[in-house]
Structure 1
Amino acid sequence: MTRTAAPIGPILFLDHVEDEQAHLAALFILPKGSQPPVLTTTSGAVSGHPLAEYDATTVFRARFTVTFGQTTYHWNGQDYTLNLDLENDQRLAYVACNGEETGDLDREGSERNVMWARLCAEHRDRPFALLLHGGDQVYADEVTDGHPLTDHWPRDIQTEPENLDDLNRHLRERLLQRYAALYASPDFAWLAARVPSVMQWDDHDICDGWGSLPPRATQSAVGRTIFSAAREAFLIFQAAATDGDLPARFADPQGRHLGWAVEMPGYRIVAPDLRSERSRTQIMGPLGWDFMQSQPSQSSTDRYFLMSSVPLLGPRLSLLETLMMTFPRMQKYEDDLRDQWQSHAHRDEWQRVLRLMIGISRAGQNVVVLSGEIHLATRAVMPLEGNALLHQLVASGIAHRPPPRLWARFLGALATLGDAPIAGKPIRIDRIPGQAGRYVAERNYLTLDRQGDKWSANWQLEESGRSPDLML
């Protein structure tokens, strides 16, 4: 049984933006039988309503609206200031990979969350308007432990499982435990109460390699139960929503895919769903592609931020994929490489999305891709039309410890080979300002700063500190 010893929240989410107003949702995780105090703004009081029930816990949500600018809301005897002057100069933060595959809940808090503490300090000095989460907000790999149907998932898959309802209950409670632990950590909780979040999911929010695992695993009754429980948890804990009640930024009200877009004054943030329709042979299905192809005609802004949880621009990983398949002992890493846009299996889709970015640039928008997933910091560029560049900024992970520096150097060497999936538009892996190597093996996060009509970015690196500004 999962128990929540003390109230958790408010955790703020941006539902959508319309008519110079930000529509927000506040999430609360409380012991069953409790009721959250009312939330008050200049427009009045808002009560929390039950969103989901667990064995010993109830999750509540309170939706409210604030006008652009610096404003304050009040909850449980405390004032919380929001910096939502979205029409003028502002700062955004981008984070990814908030955890690790094994033993994450047992890590010592100050070590695990050192980069969250830095992000809090930055907010106190120069406030952020929004917090963008680029995938793997939670590492759900261990939630399958402790149940006979999933103890050895995905190696051992029961073809005629019994009592899937019991498995679903087990998974729901374990997912609650992980989200509650993360959202109760002091630095995250302090920031999330003052900066609204928008989140895009990736494989670890479901299980390691979801969609790149063999179909016999993902399409089995157990696999679909795992996906269903993780999807419900994503909606509740990463969007303060449930089926049939999605925020307006989500493209499909029925939730058949979970892509979303937010039109802000002067820029647009687009986050396709790279998991719901994923298989070993596709990254997005018809619904996801329809959503992506609708974006250029919908936007009237001059800056387009694409959140791609898996990096869109990268080195020639298909060479490494071929090498690994040659050696049986290395084939256990195939799923990790199959997960990438650069995989042999996804090259047509990779070219398709790159052509889409070229088309968006032709429409007069500056395109920037924000990515995580690889537990390293890096950046890349690809030429567009005229003198324009497609910039990709990779920040990962905020809590996941980095791989060995040798791996970063190997990827940097692989990047020297180059790749040009679109003829005449070679991809180049560039160095972060101030760094000697193309990949930086340090925990990190990214900040984006708009001054007037100019945008810049920099990385906060655990050991190297803040990078010099990169003009976009």
Structure 2
Amino acid sequence: MDPPSTTNGLGHDAITPHPDPANGTRGVGTGPQVISTTKQLEVLVGPLLNYRRMSNEKAGEPIWHGSVLVVTTPGQTSPQLTLSPAGAVIASEGNAVFTGPGSRTFDADKLYEDTDKAFWRFMVQVPFQRFESKWSYAIKGLSYVDEKKTEKPQIFAVPSISQSMRILFHSCNGFSVGTDIEAFNGPALWNDVLRMHAEKPFHVMLGGGDQIYNDGVRVDGPLRPWTDIGNPHKRREFPFGQQMRDDCDEYYFQNYVRWYGQKPFSTANGQIPQVNIWDDHDIIDGFGSYTDHFMKCPVFRGIGGVAHKYYLLFQHHQAPPKSTFTTDAPATTHVGVEGTPADPAQLKGTFVMTDDQHDPSHIIGTKPGPYVEERSLNLYCQLGARIAFCGIDARTERTRHQINYPETYKLIFDRLSNELSANTEIKHLVLLLGVPIAYPRLQWLENIFSSPLIAPIKFLNKRFGFGGNFFNKFDGNIDLLDDLDDHYTAHQHKHERKELVHMLQDLSKKHSVRITILGGDVHLAAIGRFYSKPKLGIPAEKDFRYMPNVISSAITNKPPPQAVANLLARRNKIHHLDHDTDETLLEIFDRDPGPVGERKKSSDANHATMPSRNYAIICESSAHPTPTSSAPQPSAPVPPTTTVDGEAAQETSSPPDPKSNARKPIHAGEKGAGTGHPAANGLRETGLCGPYGLDVTLRVEISPKDPEGRTDGYGFSVPALEGGGYADQGSRW
């Protein structure tokens, strides 16, 4: 006889414990003890598509590896996904998926399940073809709990075997607390992303941090009573018990469901494969950059663990740790090498996969971070034929005085060196950091905010509320100070920053690979660059120190006031990193976006910073021939002889004039940077920087009043590194 059951209100029946047919003994915990009574796969959010890596599993036939995540109601059996060449899927109806030739079916692994939800991951692979291919996928029986949503097969693009990927880069995909969201038409720029994707598909989108803003947890969420405590000492000692953990867990989960299920962002999630790192707003504003004694308080340690759990699940499709920190479970307060130990209370009615292997693209730190007490997750993968990618987790190990452990840097650079040695076809390394690294210094502002002159004002704020929002609600310091402390250019990070740039220079010189750095966080667009001092007489094409920093932020959050952008532009000096390396911002913004007569976004003198929402497009600057036969093809394509405008491409610049202004163009690809540059539209190869260079486009919002999020483009190109790059020049060599 079947055991008695009672309906739980979600279309499931509660029953006695049952084995997990999808995972057997692969997890810990008994699960929520419910079985779905519907024939449909009840989906809360998804599908979310991730890119993981490429491999050569068969001689001459590289494989594209990715994953698809769906979040469902609990009690489901393992769902199935059908993947087909685009056009082969005929229909998806009810429980059936009708397919054509070349289709494959994938089963799902259950990563996590509790009484409210379950996370299912499909690991998918497709072969690279000798042409750009499109693939369609559908999940059997999928139906949304929200009946307003409809299900249809999703399509994504994979480059040809001879192509590198066309890259979308974005950051700060959410709104700060207190922002008038309606005034900015929500995440409107994703409409523009989808328009560009329809014209010429993106093969991958790189999330540079703050893919979601969880700051509301302290305003309209379970941390509000804690935030309202006026005494900083009482706030530091406040416990983070199981009830608060459960409440925060629910808040973070629902915020992810709301944001990741919202169009047009959700549409992009299912069609453009993601690769993400995280930053503070994925946890809470300023996490990691407050004073050490405050960062170690129970509440901050607790929300760090909860945010990390959902970061792994939603953004990496990875099983989370078994438990997170709570003060009423003493075992969880003493972290070991592997992170937080299991807590029976948290595992009650919960299933967690325990043998989930990290992907080969992951570079895992050797020890837990100081506040997020888990090991960092850094990334390496290849983006098609000639571009490599590295993403550095700059939040898990962050404190006010360090960004990453020295041991982590060694792991990352050992991996990079090994990969570049093994594959000499890689011509470009794209490095993703959470914050810009070639950016104007604001140390004078840090000094003011940290000076004794501020102490009396801080006292008045604590006692009488004087200064209002000028001070943050956590440690009582000036609210902007944690943002300044986040920057690589902050005084306490200067040594670490310099060492990182030197390690990148060494890598570039040793492997003859050009490095382009991506960074977000600052809510405006800019292009920074490191380069050899003009006195050394090295053309950019041969300069291993030439590293542009593409600064693209925010795709959704509001930009800073015009006055802040103008202040930063005035601070755009030519800085000297060391005896041989200078740095400054490129003056790329020749005019404001959109037609003449729109509201001005910056001063007439500011051509270096753009305070408007934006995203970036990166792709190779020359088209590469598509093989037409099955015979082995030469790995090096023929360089184009002309640009798209019919003019001969300039192969090598002259050495820079020591008396020239390096804020202006210093090589052929920067010449004419801005709206008139051939790379500005983001849809065609310029040919300006030869067969291995990159075209970079900043797509900048014209008006926040436009719900379609239309943008204007600013472009420049990055040359490949020729040979060893003048390896015998400069005092460091």
Q: State the TM-score, normalized to the length of structure 2.
A: 0.60
Aligned to 1:143: 217
Q: What amino acid does structure 1 have at the position aligned with 2:492? A: A
Partner SS state of residue 210, structure 2: coil
Aligned to 2:316: 239
Aligned to 1:425: 581
Distance 1:368 1:40, change over 3 A: same
8 Å Cα contact 1:149/1:222 also seen in 2: no
Q: What amino acid does structure 2 have at the position aligned with 1:199? A: N
2:617 is the counterpart of 1:437 = no
Aligned to 1:318: 443
Q: CA deviation at 1:31?
A: 2.6
Give the gaps of 5 or more residues in structure 1.
none
Q: What amino acid does structure 2 have at the position aligned with 1:177? A: Q
8 Å Cα contact 1:149/1:158 also seen in 2: no
Q: CA deviation at 1:34?
A: 4.6
The CA distance in 2 between the partners of 1:287 and 1:373, in whole Å, is 25
Aligned counterpart in structure 2 of residue 463 of structure 1, from 681, 702, 709: 702
Aligned counterpart in structure 2 of residue 262 of structure 1, from 381, 387, 399: 381
Identity %: 22
The CA distance in 1 between the partners of 2:44 and 2:269, in whole Å, is 14
Q: What amino acid does structure 1 have at the position aligned with 2:400? A: R
Aligned counterpart in structure 1 of residue 286 of structure 2, from 177, 199, 209: 209
Aligned to 1:125: 199
Aligned to 1:94: 169
Write out aligned runs for 1:443-458 (5 A): 443-450=613-620, 451=622, 452=624, 453-458=692-697
Determine which structure has greater relative contact order: mean sequence separation of CA pairs < 8 Å that are 6+ residues apart, divided by chain length.
1
Which is further off, 393-402 or 157-166?
157-166
Write out aligned runs for 1:67-466 (5 A): 67-69=127-129, 70-76=133-139, 78-85=152-159, 87-88=162-163, 90-102=165-177, 107-108=181-182, 111-144=185-218, 145-147=221-223, 150-152=226-228, 155=232, 158=235, 161-162=238-239, 164-243=241-320, 244-252=356-364, 256-264=375-383, 265-294=385-414, 295-299=416-420, 300=423, 301-326=426-451, 327-328=453-454, 332=478, 333-363=480-510, 364-384=512-532, 386-387=538-539, 388=543, 389-416=546-573, 418-435=574-591, 437-450=607-620, 451=622, 452=624, 453-463=692-702, 465-466=711-712
8 Å Cα contact 2:589/2:608 also seen in 1: no
Q: CA deviation at 1:96?
A: 0.3
The CA distance in 1 between the partners of 2:694 and 2:548, in whole Å, is 12
The CA distance in 2 between the partners of 1:58 and 1:309, in whole Å, is 30
Larger Rg: 2
Q: What amino acid does structure 2 have at the position aligned with 1:96? A: S
Q: CA deviation at 1:158?
A: 4.4
2:53 is the counterpart of 1:16 = yes
The CA distance in 1 between the partners of 2:69 and 2:178, in whole Å, is 26
Distance 1:324 1:151, change over 3 A: closer
Aligned to 2:462: none
Q: CA deviation at 1:53?
A: 2.8
Partner SS state of residue 252, structure 1: strand
Aligned to 2:340: none
Which is further off, 434-443 or 107-116?
107-116
8 Å Cα contact 2:239/2:298 also seen in 1: no
Q: What amino acid does structure 2 have at the position aligned with 1:83? A: A
Partner SS state of residue 181, structure 1: helix
The CA distance in 2 between the partners of 1:43 and 1:91, in whole Å, is 25
2:109 is the counterpart of 1:56 = no
Q: CA deviation at 1:311?
A: 0.3
Q: CA deviation at 1:89?
A: 5.3
Q: Let me know the Cα RMSD of the aligned residues.
A: 2.6
Q: What amino acid does structure 2 have at the position aligned with 1:345? A: Q
Partner SS state of residue 375, structure 1: coil
8 Å Cα contact 1:461/1:467 also seen in 2: yes
8 Å Cα contact 2:48/2:270 also seen in 1: yes
8 Å Cα contact 1:420/1:427 also seen in 2: yes
Which is further off, 122-131 or 205-214?
205-214
Partner SS state of residue 434, structure 1: coil
Distance 1:152 1:297, change over 3 A: farther
The CA distance in 2 between the partners of 1:322 and 1:173, in whole Å, is 40
8 Å Cα contact 1:95/1:445 also seen in 2: yes
The CA distance in 2 between the partners of 1:157 and 1:284, in whole Å, is 30
8 Å Cα contact 2:45/2:260 also seen in 1: yes
Q: What amino acid does structure 2 have at the position aligned with 1:370? A: L
User: What are the Cα deviations for residues 233-254 of structure 1, in whole angstroms up to 9, with x where unaligned?
Assistant: 1111110102453322111287
Q: What amino acid does structure 2 have at the position aligned with 1:167? A: M
Q: CA deviation at 1:423?
A: 2.5
Which is further off, 267-276 or 145-154?
145-154
Partner SS state of residue 136, structure 2: strand
Partner SS state of residue 131, structure 1: strand
Partner SS state of residue 7, structure 1: strand
Q: CA deviation at 1:303?
A: 0.3
The CA distance in 1 between the partners of 2:239 and 2:396, in whole Å, is 25
Partner SS state of residue 426, structure 1: strand
Q: Which runs of 4+ in 1 moved over 6 A?
A: none
The CA distance in 2 between the partners of 1:469 and 1:268, in whole Å, is 22
Q: CA deviation at 1:375?
A: 0.3
Partner SS state of residue 581, structure 2: coil
Distance 1:81 1:159, change over 3 A: closer
The CA distance in 2 between the partners of 1:109 and 1:444, in whole Å, is 16
Partner SS state of residue 355, structure 1: helix
Distance 1:112 1:156, change over 3 A: farther
Distance 1:156 1:396, change over 3 A: farther
8 Å Cα contact 1:37/1:75 also seen in 2: no
Q: What amino acid does structure 2 have at the position aligned with 1:198? A: V
Partner SS state of residue 548, structure 2: strand
